[in-house]
Amino acid sequence: MQLAEVRNLYDQDGPFATVYLEGRAPAVDAEHQVRLRWDDLRGRLEKDGA
């Protein structure tokens, strides 16, 4: 596993949020559905001050 991309996180003060996005079976509009879920999650985190 390559961790170089996340290494800088350990040098930051945070706060941090851990996000789990449920995986689903592929669908015709899978890309659109993932975008909607990420946008909703991002909005909720922003509302909560993350």
pLDDT in tens, 1-49: 778 888 888 888 878 888 877 777 778 888 898 899 889 999 998 998 8
Burial of 29 (0-12, 13-18, 19+ CB in 10 A): exposed
**Phi and psi angles of residue 46, each rounded to the nearest 5 degrees, phi first:** -60, -45
Dist. CA 9–CA 7, nearest whole Å: 5
As a whole number of angstroms, the distance between CA 18 and CA 37 comes to 15
**Model-level pTM?**
0.55
